[in-house]
Amino acid sequence: MAAAVNDTLGTDANTVVAAPKTPASEQVLRVAIPVGMLVLAIVAWEVYVLASGTPKYILPSPVDVVGALAIGWPTLLPSLWVTLSITFEALFLALIGGVGLAIILVQSKWIELALFPFAVVLQVTPIVAIAPLLLIYTPNTQTALLIVAFLVAFFPILSNMVQGLKSVDHNLLNLFDLYGAGRWQQLVFLKIPASMPYFMTGLRIGGGLSLIAAVVAEFAAGSAGAGSGLAFRLLESGYRLDMPRLYAALILLTATGVAIFGVTSFISWLVLHRWHESAVRREN
């Protein structure tokens, strides 16, 4: 009898714990619906341009944009790489600086009161106003672009990490105190793991903002030449009224931003999907 009860309880427990799998049809629809809407929008764009007879220098068709991308890739792809290098370097520095400063800030409310206002000032200052100053005070344009992109991506990571480190369950903190855990033990084994959902949010926001900041900084700096980024290609195409090439560069930037968001979202899912409510599927 006891064995039967245990077997029954075990079966029920497994039934409760196991999360239901997503049906294959639902997974297909999650991919098919966005892709279908994107294809439909492209077709509508093409039909509108052909039916209205809009000149290419005003609104190119998707076919014109693809042709410009095929012809201009020897210059567009190196420019994309320049922009991406600034983006990822800035994001990497923002991750290190944001997490490091957040850990320092939460150690004492006096340290937070002393340093956090400086981060807020840098965040609310328009990036276009900072770029010319950095061009004067830095040795080269690339360094200025990197600093601008870093400053934009830094604050979301810092603020989210600070909020995460301060949002630990007080009962768990009391439990760690009860067992005599030191400050660094609480930080490593409790606060940092508990702050991961907030950190992942900051990572997703910072990834997109670092790309935007890199492009805006290139616009503000007016960087040009063979080693310039995609912002210069956008300006160059606009000055020449080469709209297909301008749209091609813009589509490359958009696709890059979507890819960055997808990668950071996947990293967030990998870290959180086994334990955090934001990534765990509901059972009913």
pLDDT tens digits for range 16-42: 444 455 567 777 888 889 889 999 999
From 68, 73, 84, 75, select the one nearest 215 (Cα to Cα). Answer: 84
Which pair of tokens denotes residue 262?
């997808």
Task: Grade residue 9 by pLDDT with cuts at 50, 70 and 90.
Answer: very low
CA 75 from centre of chain: 26
Q: Which CATH superfamily is domain 63-272 in?
A: MetI-like (1.10.3720.10)
CB atoms under 10 Å from CB of 109, counted, come to: 10
Q: Where are the domains of the chain?
A: 63-272
In this structure, which amino acid lies at residue 179?
Y
CB 152 within 8 A of CB 210: yes
Given a cut of 60, whether residue 170 has pLDDT beyond it is yes
pLDDT tens digits for range 156-168: 999 999 999 998 8
In this structure, which amino acid lies at residue 55?
P
Residue 210 has a pLDDT of 92
Given CA atoms 11, 14, 19, 23 in this order, what sign does their dihedral have? negative
pLDDT tens digits for range 219-249: 877 665 556 888 888 888 888 888 999 999 9
Which pair of tokens denotes residue 247?
């749209």
Q: What is the mean pLDDT of the chain?
A: 84
CB atoms under 10 Å from CB of 137, counted, come to: 9
Angle, helix 243-272 to helix 230-239, in steps of 10 degrees: 150
Task: Grade residue 126 by pLDDT with cuts at 50, 70 and 90.
Answer: confident
Task: Grade residue 279 by pLDDT with cuts at 50, 70 and 90.
Answer: low
Q: What is the mean pLDDT of residues 104-121?
A: 86
pLDDT tens digits for range 181-220: 888 899 889 999 999 999 999 999 999 999 998 888 888 7
Which residues, 6+ apart, have CB-to-CB distance to 207 below 8 Å? 91, 153, 260, 261, 263, 264
Q: What is the rounded radius of gyration, in angstroms, for the C-alpha atoms of the chain?
A: 25
Torsion, Cα 35 40 43 49, to 10 degrees, reads -120
From 157, 257, 244, select the one nearest 215 (Cα to Cα). Answer: 257
DSSP alpha helix (H) spans, the chain: 2-17, 24-52, 62-105, 109-124, 127-137, 141-166, 170-178, 183-186, 192-194, 196-221, 230-239, 243-272
In this structure, which amino acid lies at residue 54?
T
CB atoms under 10 Å from CB of 15, counted, come to: 9
From 254, 248, 247, select the one nearest 58 (Cα to Cα). Answer: 247
In this structure, which amino acid lies at residue 42?
I
